Copies of this chain bind each other. A is one copy, B any other.
Amino acid sequence: MSAGSSRETRSNSKAVGEGQAPARRYHSVRAQSEALARPLAVEDYVVQSMPDVSPTKWHLAHTTWFFETFVLARFAPSYEPLEPRYGYLFNSYYESVGTRHPRPERGMLSRPTVAETYDYRAHVDRAMGALFGRAGSAVLEEAASLIELGLQHEEQHQELMLTDLKHVLGRNPLRPAYGSAAPMPPEREVQALRFFDQPGGLISIGHEGPEFAFDNETPRHRVFLRPYRLADRLVTNGEFLAFIEAGGYSRPEFWLSDGWATLQAHGWQAPLYWERADSGWFEYTLAGGAPLMHSAPVSHVSYYEADAYSRFAGARLPTETEWEAVAARQPTSGNFVERRHYHPSAAPDDDGVRQLYGDAWEWTGSAYLAYPGYRPWAGAVGEYNGKFMSNQFVLRGGSCATPERHVRATYRNFFPPDARWQFTGIRLAEDA
């Protein structure tokens, strides 16, 4: 129901010490949100195609509300809200901040208009600019971590803007494209999937140190692992198609009980956005409809589908510890939003485990729960992560819609097991 967080942010205190760096980072992140919305028609900002999806307009306003509520209201005493009722309209789920507009009705609001929403952003950006003008002040020092949280939060919503928009456009029978994406690499053969042995033992995972991380990544702690084997790349569309063709969606033996019930309730027969035509399989992408690319990683699968596929393949999903133990040794580079494909692409031919970052979030077999010794942040922002610790699974590694700097090895994303509208894919593991 939520999203994720920040890679490689320099330490906050250091950043503040660097004078205008925080202001530059603020305006850069804020500008990126607006850049992502630039290809849209006004009408595209308004629609909510299912309760999980929010209109673009809402994302732009809600991220602004975050700074207004958690930073300006507290650290800028002379700040005047542009419109007090926005506090009600753009609160997402912070119970401690007051009542809020019901989530499933976000698409029923034609007002504020898109132009008024940008006015709201400008109003808050000006006030934030004034706050940054007090660089070095005690107030700004104190606000720094909340400002950084607000930017991390906005980066998460940048990803949701793309995935929500894909849902809005993708269920329109006209199948319009989002805008100019960078061209995808051509179809090609991919190397056969291999598993690489991993040693197990007493492993430390989780975040420690001065860099930004969400509370749910802490504390760093030890986990005992048995030796295991991790697949070298994500499962491809072509491999997943073999599951479909083997009757995977009509054979209960592969499925969790809840998964089978969900499949039947929704009539699932393929990943979200797949369509079977007489001439073969097509997939809706943010560049429009396209023939299914067999070499690309499968995405838009639920946990249930990932788990069922792993059983079909005689394997299983990795735990989050198994994933992090390997990922911690690799650089966080990959097919992130900066490449402007907005779609997963085939793993490079190579030796060893790769494609851990970018392309598609990887479902793990770990329930999203507190780490031993976990403490939520103090205050209202303590509602950020901890209160979702039931009925969700952990995903790792980021996707083609995630800002590259936002992800790191310890980053924990989480979604309910039936969620499909994110770029979610499958990496396999095995017992040694």
Which residues of A line the B interface, CB within 8 A? Answer: 1, 41-49, 57, 83, 85, 88-89, 93, 95-96, 101, 105, 107-114, 168-169, 171-174, 176, 202, 221-226, 252-253, 255-260, 303-304, 307, 316, 319, 365-367, 369-370, 372-373, 387-391, 393, 417, 431
- Given the known inter-chain contacts A202-B224, A390-B256, please indicate yes or no for A46 contacting B49, CB distance below 8 A: no
B108 close to A390 (CB less than 8 A): no
Instruction: Give every chain B residue within 8 A of A108 (Cβ-Cβ).
Output: 47-49, 107, 168, 171-172
User: 7 closest Cβ contacts across the A-B interface?
Assistant: A367-B367, A95-B252, A43-B110, A44-B110, A224-B224, A42-B42, A257-B387
B46 close to A43 (CB less than 8 A): yes
**A167 nearest CB neighbor, chain B only:** B108
Instruction: Give every chain B residue within 8 A of A173 (Cβ-Cβ).
Output: 85, 88-89, 101
Instruction: Give every chain B residue within 8 A of A367 (Cβ-Cβ).
Output: 367, 369
B222 close to A47 (CB less than 8 A): no
A133 to chain B, nearest CB (A): 32
Instruction: Give every chain B residue within 8 A of A45 (Cβ-Cβ).
Output: 43
A385 to chain B, nearest CB (A): 10
Which of these, B109, B221, B370, B389, contacts A226 with CB under 8 Å?
B221
Instruction: Give every chain B residue within 8 A of A369 (Cβ-Cβ).
Output: 365-367
**A112 nearest CB neighbor, chain B only:** B174
Q: Which of A44, A108, A176 has the most CB of B within 10 A?
A: A108
A258 close to B172 (CB less than 8 A): no
**Bound-state Cα–Cα, A168 to B260, Å:** 29
A242 to chain B, nearest CB (A): 22
A41 close to B390 (CB less than 8 A): no
**Bound-state Cα–Cα, A391 to B415, Å:** 12
B113 close to A41 (CB less than 8 A): yes
**Bound-state Cα–Cα, A288 to B7, Å:** 48
**Bound-state Cα–Cα, A46 to B111, Å:** 11
A222 to chain B, nearest CB (A): 5
Instruction: Give every chain B residue within 8 A of A83 (Cβ-Cβ).
Output: 174
**A108 nearest CB neighbor, chain B only:** B49
